Homo-oligomer: A and B are copies of this chain.
Amino acid sequence: MAAATPSNPPPLLADPPPGSGTRARIRHAAARLFARRGYAGTGLKQVATDASAPFGSIYHFFPGGKDALAEDMIRTTGPQFMALVLGLLEERDDPVDAVVHAFDSAARDLVASGYADGCPVATMALDVVDTNETLRGAAADVFAEWIDGGTAWFSRHVSPDRARDLASAMVMLVEGAFLLGRTSRDPEPLRAAGRSMATLLAAAR
């Protein structure tokens, strides 16, 4: 029996529940567009259209405009994504099984989204790293939290210093696998990443 309920949560960027307020719909549409098309590639007109909201409402709820919307998106979806991954890791008792299961689950979600949704932060981070210091810092904070959270999880199974390298490797493999998987429209990179991560964990125990 698994260690926790297979929660099977809704995708991070799925449609918002019916009856959501205007602000929630704007946040949601912005998060999806930013994640899929990047910062410069996303237009606020499109955000308003996708959110079924009037254009002016964006500035009513987010007076800081595009930058405020983007920072809110990075700082919101970042922790959500980590929670999703940690939840997947809890669905198996054995840590090696858990890692493989998490990557396999991510592979299925990637295919289910039509290869549209990978990491909600990576595209934004690369887009702004050279042009927007505030947003670069927000993305850096998110990645640091992921590595800290991963280090805590791996510390349950290996020594703390090894746990940190494992957490770094996990984040890097996830990011690289989403990049290759989305670009090649192929779930195999995520499965290969899971196998490599399993090898690294086994070697560290």
Contacts and interface: CB of A to CB of B under 8 A. Distances in A.
Interface of A: 36-41, 115-116, 122-123, 125-127, 129-131, 136, 139-140, 143-144, 165, 168-169, 171-177, 179-180, 182-185, 189, 192-193, 195-196, 199-200, 202-204
* Copies of this chain in its oligomeric complex: 2
Given A140-B183, A144-B184, A172-B176, A195 B125 contact: no
Contacts of A173: 169, 172-173, 176
Given A37-B40, A41-B41, 16 more contacts: A37-B127, A38-B38, A39-B41, A41-B131, A122-B179, A123-B127, A143-B184, A165-B196, A169-B196, A173-B176, A174-B176, A175-B175, A175-B176, A199-B203, A199-B204, A200-B200
A173 B172 CA distance: 5
Contacts of A199: 199-200, 203-204
Tell me whether chain A's interface is mostly helix, strand or loop, or mixed. helix
Nearest to A42: B40
Contacts of A40: 37-38, 40-41, 127
